[in-house]
Structure 1
Amino acid sequence: MELVEGKVAFITGGARGLGRAMALRFAGEGADVAIFDICRDVPGLGYTMSDRAQLDEVAGQVRALGRRAVTLVGDVRRAEDMQRAVEQTLSDLGKIDIVVANAGVSSVGDAWELTQEEWDAVIGVNLTGAWITAKFTIPHLIARRQGRLIFISSGAGLGGRSKLAHYCASKWGVIGMTKSLAIDLAPYRITVNAVCPASILSGLNTGMARHMGIPVEQLVGEWMKLQLIQEMIQPEDLAAAVVWIASDEARYVTGHALPVTAGASM
């Protein structure tokens, strides 16, 4: 039996990168998937976000694995977008068992040189967006008295990083929210965890590298020097950890921030 057979997973930032890898892994392990993404650029960041074609492609790949898929276009910072997406998921797929708040953005720069627009975009998507995702999905998990809420934080949420003060602040905040919600939701048999990846080849890092004028391999390679295991972590490696946390095998794992960093967070 697959790890999440018969479940419904709701994933934000699902059109590419880690979100895509998670959608396919969930489908491969027996879940239907609701895939939410913005499908337009975010002002202030200077790199290209996902698009509708990528979102539809992931949905097609999920269906090719024999599972149902719903595509949802919206901005995690907008409560009305999230409410509409949750309602559509419930209408089309009948329930929500697993929530993965994955949508994330970043930029690079000294904190005192960042624009207000840049700061607001990173905090807005990474932290406020994660809260809005939780706000509109938790009531449905509570009503069923079970569920999994998983936040994608970062290895940068476990320490500091040069020129990433805004990003680190957002990801530290996600971990604090994780631990608090784990306490509040335990009576409803809902587990809450964060997964903290190291730098991976993703749409976010590709966009950042392009904005900096360097190859993404150079950007990821610099961060990879922090790892004990000097191998590039793939989105599929993160997806495997997320699906395990979402499964019954991890039913007593809650309130944790799981590093998938090849030792970089030690």
Structure 2
Amino acid sequence: MVLSSWSTTSIEDVAAIAGLKWLQLYVYKDRAVTRRLIERAQDAGFAAIALTVDTPYLGRRVADIRNRFRLPPHLTMANFRDDAKARVTAADDSGLASYVASQIDPSLSWAHVAWVRSVARVPVLVKGILTAEDARLAVAAGVDGIIVSNHGGRQLDTVPATIDVLEEVVTAVEGRVPVFLDGGVRRGTDVFKALALGASAVFLGRPVLWALAYDGERGVSQMLATINEELRLAMALAGCASLKDITREHVRLPGQPRL
């Protein structure tokens, strides 16, 4: 599980019940806030830091602005209950947009990635890579992995789907670090295609929320079981007895001629 820094459940509370855990992280203007999050995650047994690098500014989320989105009164950003500098303040349009503008460092650069690596005692991955150029820069910066992500399509309108750029990123890193895919995974066949194009694994976001809304913990268990069964069936029908048998030859991109 990759836990959002802005989760309404704290690092420590999640650590008490979760298995393999990573922390999703932003670089705050106040570096002490970022450092405290990293240290708390490490102390709680989190195995890696997933540094989000596509949000120096928040994308224009029209629905949030129109609805004046903010957390309801009974919820808080649990990781900042005792950190007045990083709390959410009132806003006229979108509480999230105001929070990002006031707290997150808009000058984000590869130097900041290096700083996070110097603080962390666990592997650091960068989340939000969509091009071969940035993939090569990430490897040069010494990251331990890359998460191909477009932030659920919420940061910059008309960016490509992650599956469309996955192979470009995988090719650019030349096996030096693992590459993960985030976004658009809805079925086991989506997992199969991502693995065939070089992903080490995939992440699920919205399906988890839909399943929670449907039937809580049981809904999530059912969703995961369904995707796993769909993947198993896809592998069987494609003649793959194990994950290592899934190769580039099992997918054909739109417009790609038959061999």
TM-score by length of 2: 0.37
Q: Which structure would you say has the larger RCO, counting Cα contacts within 8 Å and 6 or more residues apart? A: 1
Q: Which structure has the larger Rg?
A: 2
TM-score by length of 1: 0.37
